[in-house]
Structure 1
Amino acid sequence: MRAKLRLFWLFLFLYPVLIFGQINSPERYFGFRMGEDKKLIGWGEIVGYFKYVSANSDRVIVEELGKTTLGKPFIVAIASSERNIKNLENLKEIQRKLAKPYTLGEDEAKRLTRNGKVFVLITMNIHSTEIASSQESVELIYEFATRNDDEMKNILENCVILLIPSLNPDGQQMVVDWYKKYVGTKYEASPMPWLYHYYAGHDNNRDWHFFSLVETRLTAKVLYHDWFPQVVYDQHQMGSDGPRFFVPPYSDPVNPNVLPEIMALTNLFGKYIVFDMVQKGFKGVVTGGRFNAYFQGTMSKTPLWHNRVGILSEAASVRIATPIYIPYGSVRGLGDEIPDNSLSNNNLNPFEEGWWRLRDIIEYEKAATYAILNFSANNREKILWTFYNANKKSIEKGLNEPPFAYIIDLNQQNDPNSAIELLKRLQFAGVEIYKAKKSFIVESKVFSENTFIIPLSQPCRPFIKDVMEVQNYPDIRLYPDGPPKRPYDVTAWTLPLQMGVNVFELKEKKEIQMEKVSLIDFGESKFIGKGNFIVIERRFINSYRLVNLLMKDGIKVFTAKAGDFKGNFVLKNDKVTIDKIKTYSKNLGIELKIVNDLKESELVEIKKKNVGIYQPWITSMDEGWTRLVLDSFYFDYRVFHNKEMKDKKTFDEIDVLILPSMGANAILEGRGFRGTQRIDFPSMPEEYEGGIGKEGVENIKNFLKRGGTLITLGEASNFAIEQLGISVRNDLKNLGPKEFFAPGTIVNLKLNDPDNPISYGLTKQVPAYIINPIAFSTSVYSDKISAIATFDDENVLLSGYLLGSDKIKGKIALCEVPYEKGKILLFAFRPQHRSQTWATFKFLFNAILN
């Protein structure tokens, strides 16, 4: 019976092939052409089609790399000629040798470039509302499997194509479901009111140097561990009213750590795409506008620091799958580099007017894809040689030019856990890390055997140097004496600063006895001493993980309010508690001191808090990152929307309310603050309109009066200042960019009130990330306002760009404001920014626990 069932299901799977004698096209398989107006396929259908093609083609293999954040399959398809597919392991070995040519000489490298293939990684749909590329993916895989013309034979013979049809499958399905639910109604193509990545939303394309997200880590295996593609092409969409399509060259500034030959080759690819597309009649294809390749974190550009070609395309959007009309004269430019739609070297064939459909986007993206594949196939040996040569050059630079290494001694860290986490993140990027075999001395400085070394003599030297050093972003003005030009994203990403890790830069050659470490982790926790109390120092970031797990199990946790262990976590040493600690502290790398010299009168119990996070129907990426950080450290919380915020009963159920960074008006009014909506824009379903309103404000006030804690992050502090009647001002609120400008900058904070529990576990100086113009001052108040942390009054800038530093020097960056029985904690910075700022996580954690 089972055998018959297996035959039955096999017959159903192969039925289309048996009937038609060939692999069905997507149009026949799904019943409509991809890109047809108001028609979409979801993730399950895409995966099903990819598997169907793979099962019936000798040119295509589909691999599941793992599961997404919400448990969907995350896949990559490998496409090449039948001969290359059969020889795939040998081709991968050639890739590995060219990618890591430590002992590879020129003669052998030339032989490998003759025999190797260009590996091209095509990634799609990282931003889920940019839906076209996910629909395009099934057409591409069909054509790779079935086309037999000379162009395709040449591509498949000379290239191995790695195709990831969506970098965010969870969001792809969300967007398809939302669109289909309302198509044909007044809500058609309305914006989805929740993040399309469960944690990051649009910021899932800011994680490619830090690897906080599951999907980023899965793709990193393809990029830096298993396949080593020389060419990376990431497909995006942009606004609707500018040029139709952007490809490199990128705009200025140029990052000095990217090798010039890699940027030149990327530019060459981009210009070839333009040439090919213009020749085929595509209009509105531009280069050099808005998008630069200076900052770390994006899928398309981070590979540049790994000596790979990194190509971003941006197609003009429609309203998901609903077409739009572009009237004559309405097409705008693209940033300061392309101020309008006139003919220029950056815009050789302007698009002027006409209908714009989802199908048009697919056609543009496919044309660019084939231009990239043809250029790769026709210049195979040159691309492979450039890849080898750039990697070899990076290794040699690391041997002959400072810095020669970055050194991290765990014994010299306030928080060894964060240092280990930094090393783990670097390993995701393919960085090779070593550990000292014994202690050593450099420049009269002694380093212990507990020291890790990151040599710069590696192929990914540009990446290592870029993420470890301080950024000095150039001062670019829109015009002489004018305001600064806004960078595309941020100006600072120095990982040691963001994570609070002490790093020594080795500027002289030094022989260090060391061994390569294949897998870095926190290691076992240590139990030191004997006694009736267990002390867990807050300086270890993993202490919060342990404490949260223990409190979930009902174990009482205390804080020492005086004495040698002031501010640290304390537990009573009994069998149940010690057994739980031994279970939960495995691989947390914490030191637990078991002592007698503590008095119960010195202890204050930490009660487990009921935490609420406000989640607006205007999507907030900061809210998503907040949830990721809290989930990562095992904090429990509930998410509240406008309806719950307007309900008094909600506030009876929580002790702490967190308002993530978002504008004051957005919290109060939701989408309404944006003013009158155009008649042709889709309406929003009524349940997703508005903000917390006056009812929500009154509920927050009463919650505070009864003893609640309100935590406002970044911009949300303006809401507290404006709506809650406290004597705190944001001194930067009305300043323009000519007076103050900090577009993603790392600054130096000074602990002004180290006795405040919010400061526990932190050092006297703390690097913090600022991205909004916020600095506090206070006036006379009925109770003590604690200025917990201030911006340093001397050396405030640590990394990135900061205009108007005098406006924040000595100003309050974090304060605690009493509010009858409750309190408000106002952050001028984002302590959990993009899940990267480990140096300031403890501020948030302490605010919740205390």
Structure 2
Amino acid sequence: MIRSILRPFAILLLSLTTVWAQIPSPKQHFGFNIGDDYQLATYTQTEAYFKKLAATSDRVKLVDIGPTEEGRRQYMLIVSSPANLKKLSHYKEISQKLARAENLNDDQARALAFEGKAVVWIDGGLHATETVGTMQLIETAWQLASRKDPETMRILNDDIILLTHANPDGQEIVTNWYMREATPEKRSLDNVPRLYQKYVGHDNNRDFFMLNMKETQNIGRQLFVEWIPQIMYNHHQRGPAGSVLAGPPYRDPFNYVFDPLMVTGIDALGAAMINRLNAENKPGFTRLSGSVFSTWYNGGLRTTTHFHNMIGLLTEIIGDPTPEDVPLVPKRLLPNGATPFPVTPQKWHFRQSIDYSVSLNYAVLGYAARYRDEVLFNIYRMGKNSIERGSRDTWALSPKRIDAITNAYDSDPKKVVPPTNAALAQYGMIPKGGGMPMKYYDTVMKAPSLRDPRGFIIPAGQPDFATAVKFINALIRTGIQVQQATSEFAVAGKTYPAGSYVIKSDQAFRPHVLDMFEPQDHPNDFQYPGGPPVRPYDAAGWTLAYLMNIQFDRILDSFDGPFKKLPYGELQSPEGHVAGGVGDGYVLSARANNTFTAVNDLLASGVEVYRLPNGTGVKPASEAGAFYVPATPKSKSVLDKAAKELGLEVASLAKRPTTTMTKMAPMRIALWDTYGGSMPSGWVRWLMEQYHFPAKVIYTQDIDAGDLRKKFDVIVFVTRAIPPVGGKDVDIFSLLGSEAKPENTPAEYRPWLGKITADKSIPQLKTFMETGGTVITIGTSTNLAYHLKLPVKSALTEMTTTGQEKPLPGEKYYIPGSVLQMSVDSTNQATWGLPALTDVYFDASPVFKVAPDAIATGKVKPLAWFSTSKPLRSGWAWGQSYLQDGIAAFMAPVGTGKLYAFGPEITFRAQSHGTFKLLFNQLYSAGSAPGEATNGN
């Protein structure tokens, strides 16, 4: 009787369990199919779906990889067979061992490769307005979790797939904006009010060697420390007009530090991807010269992996939830090696892009499964190659080295001219025995002084050691093996203190080590001889050790010492001290960036702080611009904390300084921004927060309203804020959508609308300065100097035959993003704490000429300039001699206020720590200390 009663309940329970265990489709969860026109999912909905997949599928494990900048959780789905998921730690260990290639021989590596599983990273959503990326991630997760066809089963058996959401905040922002319209046909991705990743927007894909943002730190740990996948696939859009997508392989140049296996590995994966699309009758894949994408740059989600021996893949595809047209571009219709299967003009729907993306994912995963042991062994082989190269004398090839070989031959009056043959020459061939004699190669490529370094030493005790530790942490976050000295040691006749850091080049990720310390040498790249330059994909030079002003020594011979290897991924914290006993006060160096954080904390606590234009005048001596803090219980408390948390060296003074002192006060700081968000402004806002400067974001309408002096003491304008006289700056990202109009903008965002104009905004800024305000301009916003008719003009012009000045053409002068060295007037208050020669990031930046009488009369005060004809340190500078004697930065009085003009990008992507002080020094107001003289600077 009881059994008969319970039996129906058991059947019901079993049926409910079956329903609960059913893997939900996107349609069941979201209410629409992924790829349906006019439909997008929010991150809130996506997160819930990912959790459902993990709860209902034994192929899926959900991993929380950390918080986002807005406080959401960032997730990675690990997808593989149930058997593989039970042994994830084992396969992760194999992946790490092979990637790092330490203490392995080829036989051991082959055995591990045979045992291991191919680890493949696939991400989506990094650039949130590129909506295909996020939606294909959802669809791919669903298909891998639910399909049972032989291909999927083989992939699950042989691959471990890391499906990673790259920008949760952005998906929420962009989807809510798009879906706010009730009528589907009215939905648009144009004119999103703010950056889709807090602070940095599109530049989130330029942060992967620095790893400033929380999201990039989360991703970086999984890529470079935890999993170190052999293949990573980074989804983007948009494809070149007249094609569907751009993909691998990419155009030249590639970075010369790469292992050739990485480059040919990209070729192999690219072939698998385009072959799959062709087999499925999906045209429109372009590659090589068919797109602008190269493998020169470091710093992108895809590109940084190249420096870690991963096969990093990028595709840029068309498609939006709103249907669009594939435009007619006649030159794209003819098949060639770059586009063997052109697409014809047609209406394009979102689902087509999703289908293409899933096919591409399956092509990558299928390749990894078929060639699993080869993929695993090859990352080992690349790492082993790097270890071997770093263990012996090697000479890196670069354009300058090639030119040196050629010049050695051309300048030799006794050179022997090799035989030639006109018939062979037309085919690029030379007769047997021809070619340049080897001795010219040997003069360059065997010169002892031109060897690659065996390692680098970053001495403890340098003036800004805390910033050096930030550099070290950037290396550690990207998986670099770092060592630290446990006691004093000597190398090459120089003694280094305990605590110094050592980075040797005999490690698997040697390409990344060299790229962070050594200059990049971008080739001269022109459309044709004598023609215009070909713009690099992003920067041409970025040597981080230069940009951060790190003091380091480049060691050419093998060396060792009392070094301990730091665990991979273990971040470092500098140890600061408050030296000396209790005295009259404390001194903080102006050369340390973290000093400004401590000063801001002191001022916020009500502690008096003074600046010393001429140093202390008593022991211990300090440099011009150092900070003096009278001893009080409050100041001691703040400085004890600062020394511990910021790694500051604080000196105690027995007696009050005898030199001039200037009392500091916090300024009321305004930072310009605009509707849609300015990435350079976002970076500066982030910097302000990191260094504890209180700043208020303002918009054009705030400026045009006037009365600025009642509200602010200083206003900061980043590049692309102030338009040129008689025109407007062009920002490529502003061209991707129509301009926002008040009637189409929600009321809460309308105060952000507007652009700086000559008739309304400039007069208000002039009045602000004339009544004592300070304006700081960076990059193209130095245009303000021309609006104010200051006695400066561009140094980068030439005279035409008609007697008119025009900008130098690209055939004569072209400097994309690169590192240059400038001379600095380090005695000036604006430049306190900087060395006399300072490396700076320069990106087609303004350079000025100032009339001598304007300098003599004090109308313009040069702060930095280019004193040589060859200021290039890293990157590409065609026609750099035009820079000689050009002014890079100046100050000009305007009424009782000041204009600061910094042509180079002194805060670039929060990477250029070496020039942050050019901003920070201007963010304090100063008055006389009681009983003291003021400084005239």
* TM-score normalised by length of structure 2: 0.84
Distance of 1:840 and 1:689 partners within structure 2 = 31
Query: Does the CA-based 8 Å contact 2:740-2:753 persist in structure 1?
Result: no
1:331 — aligned with what? Answer: 329
Is 2:410 the partner of 1:410?
Answer: no
**Matched residue of 1:348: which SS?**
coil
Equivalent in the alignment of 1:218 = 218
Tell me, yes or no, if the aligned pair for 1:38 and 1:183 is still in contact at 8 Å.
no
Percent identity, aligned pairs only, is: 28
Of residues 848, 865, 869 in structure 2, which corresponds to 1:776?
848
Deviation at 1:594, TM superposition (A): 1.2
Preserved contact between residue 525 and residue 588 of structure 1 (Cα < 8 Å): no
Q: Secondary structure at the match of 2:121?
A: strand
Matched letter for residue 814 of structure 1: A
**Which residue does 2:563 correspond to in 1?**
514
How far 1:76 moved relative to its partner? 0.3
Aligned CA RMSD, in angstroms, stands at: 2.5
Residues 672 and 831 (structure 1), Cα distance of their counterparts in 2 relative to 1, 3 Å cut: closer
Equivalent residue in structure 1 for 2:598, among 546, 550, 554: 546
Alignment coverage as a number of residue pairs: 822
Pair 1:459-2:459 in alignment: no
Which residue does 2:551 correspond to in 1? 502
Q: Give the superposition deviation at 1:43.
A: 0.4
2:725 & 2:15 partners in 1: Cα distance?
Answer: 54
The corresponding residue for 1:756 is: 828
The 5-angstrom pairing of residues 696-775 of structure 1 reads 696-718=761-783, 720-732=784-796, 734-751=807-824, 753-775=825-847
Residue equivalent to 2:874: 799
Following superposition, the deviation at residue 801 of structure 1 comes to: 0.5
CA displacement at 1:681 relative to structure 2: 9.2
Match of 2:650 in 1: 592
Partner Cα separation in structure 1 for residue 738 and residue 698 of structure 2: 31
Q: 1:201 to 1:341 in 2, by over 3 A?
A: farther
Residues 626, 832 of structure 1: 8 Å contact kept:
yes
Return the alpha-carbon distance in structure 1 between the equivalents of residues 276 and 634 of structure 2.
71
Please report how far the alpha carbon of residue 678 of structure 1 lies from its aligned counterpart in structure 2 after TM superposition.
12
Q: Output the CA distance in 2 between the equivalents of 1:82 and 1:669.
A: 62
Say if 2:699 and 2:753, in contact at 8 Å, map to a contact too. Answer: no
Pick aligned residue for 2:487 from 419, 438, 455? 438
Letter of the 1:538 counterpart: A
**d(CA) in 2 for partners of 1:671 and 1:838?**
26
Q: Which residue of the other structure, out of 345, 367, 382, is the alignment partner of 1:390?
A: 382
Give the match for residue 316 of structure 2: 314
CA contact (8 A) 2:258 2:307 kept: yes
CA distance in 2, matches of 1:304, 1:190: 33
Q: 1:301 and 2:303 equivalent?
A: yes
- Bigger-Rg structure (1/2): 2
| 2:526 counterpart of 1:480 | no
- Residue 423 of structure 2 is matched in structure 1 by none
Partner of 1:138: 138
2:167 counterpart of 1:168: yes
Matches of 1:745 and 1:644, distance apart in 2? 35
| Contact 1:434-1:514 at 8 Å conserved across structures | yes
Aligned residue for 2:252?
252
Counterparts of 1:799 and 1:259 in 2: how far apart (Å)?
21
Aligned-partner Cα distance in 2 for 1:680–1:558 = 50
Change (3 A) 1:22 1:332: farther
Q: Which amino acid aligns with 2:780?
A: E
Going from structure 1 to structure 2, the CA distance change for 1:679 and 1:209 (only over 3 Å counts) comes to closer
CA–CA separation in structure 1 for the residues paired with 2:704 and 2:239 = 35
Moved more, 401-410 or 816-825: 401-410
Partner of 2:407: none
Structure 2: how far apart are the matches of 1:502 and 1:332?
Answer: 54
1:449 is matched by which residue type in structure 2?
A: A
* Pairwise CA distance, 1:51: 0.2
For 2:188 and 2:319, locate their aligned partners in 1 and report how far apart those are by CA, in whole Å.
15
Give the alignment's TM-score, normalised by structure 1: 0.93
Deviates more, 1:501-510 or 1:692-701: 692-701
The code of the aligned residue for 1:556 comes to E
Matched residue, 1:634: 692
Residue number among 626, 633, 645 corresponding to 1:575 in the alignment: 633
1:47 and 2:39 matched: no
Q: Distance in 1 between matches of 2:206 and 2:678?
A: 15
Counterpart Cα distance in 2 of 1:830 and 1:682: 28
Task: Tell me, in whole angstroms, the C-alpha distance in 1 between the residues paired with 2:315 and 2:340.
Answer: 17
Q: Look up the equivalent residue of 2:611 and give its one-letter code.
A: T
Deviation of the 1:794 alpha carbon:
4.6
Measure, in 2, the Cα distance between the counterparts of 1:443 and 1:326.
Answer: 62
The reply on whether 1:560 has 2:612 as its aligned counterpart is: yes
Asked whether the 8 Å contact 1:651–1:699 carries over to 2, the reply is: no
| One-letter code aligned to 2:317 | A
**Offset of residue 443 of structure 1:** 3.0
Please give the alpha-carbon distance, in whole angstroms, between the structure 2 residues aligned to 1:668 and 1:592: 50
* 2:587 is the alignment partner of 1:535: yes
Tell me the residue number matched to 2:345. Answer: 353
Say which is worse superposed, 558-567 or 178-187, in terms of deviation.
178-187
Residue 567 of structure 1: CA displacement? 1.2
Deviates more, 1:244-253 or 1:520-529: 520-529
CA contact (8 A) 1:16 1:24 kept: no
Name which of structure 1's ranges 506-515 and 275-284 shifts more when overlaid on structure 2: 506-515
> Whole-Å Cα distance in 2 between the matches of residues 17 and 146 of structure 1?
18
Matched, 1:844 2:919: yes
Name the structure 1 match of 2:287: 287
Name the CA shift for 1:47/1:671 in 2 (closer, same or farther; >3 Å): farther
Shift of 1:509: 1.6
- Counterpart CA distance in 2 for 1:323 and 1:527 is 67
* Superimposed CA distance per residue, residues 547-589 of structure 1 (whole angstroms, 9 cap, x where no aligned partner): 1111111211110133444311111111221122212332322
Aligned pairs for 1:205-284 within 5 A = 205-238=205-238, 241-284=241-284
| In 1: Cα distance, 2:739 partner to 2:20 partner | 44
Shift, 1:154, TM fit: 0.2
Give the drift of 1:739. Answer: 2.5
1:659 counterpart (704, 713, 717)? 717
SS at match of 1:250: strand
- Name the SS of the counterpart of 2:520 in structure 1: coil
Secondary structure, aligned partner of 1:252: strand
Q: How does 1:815-826 map to 2 (within 5 A)?
A: 815-826=890-901
1:35 is displaced (CA, Å) by 1.6
In the TM superposition, what is the alpha-carbon distance from 1:122 to its structure 2 partner? 0.5
Q: 1:247 and 1:847 mapped to 2: Cα distance?
A: 46
Query: Residue type matched to 2:304 in 1?
Result: T
Q: 1:66 — aligned with what?
A: 66
Q: CA separation of 1:278/1:651 partners in 2, compared to 1, >3 Å: closer, same or farther?
A: farther
Does structure 1 conserve the Cα–Cα contact (< 8 Å) formed by 2:869 and 2:883?
A: no
Aligned to 2:702: 644
Matches of 1:619 and 1:678 in 2, distance apart?
14
Q: Supply the distance in 1 between the matched residues of 2:916 and 2:690 (Cα, whole angstroms).
A: 11
1:179 Cα deviation from its structure 2 partner: 1.2
User: Which letter maps to 2:355?
Assistant: E
Give how far 1:303 is off: 0.9
**Aligned residue number for residue 192 of structure 1:** 192
- Aligned amino acid, residue 344 of structure 1: N
Q: Is this contact kept in 1: 2:247–2:315, CA < 8 A?
A: yes
Deviates further, 623-632 or 792-801: 792-801
Change (3 A) 1:397 1:17: farther
Judging changes above 3 Å, is the alpha-carbon distance between structure 1 residues 293 and 712 closer, same or farther for their aligned structure 2 residues?
Answer: same
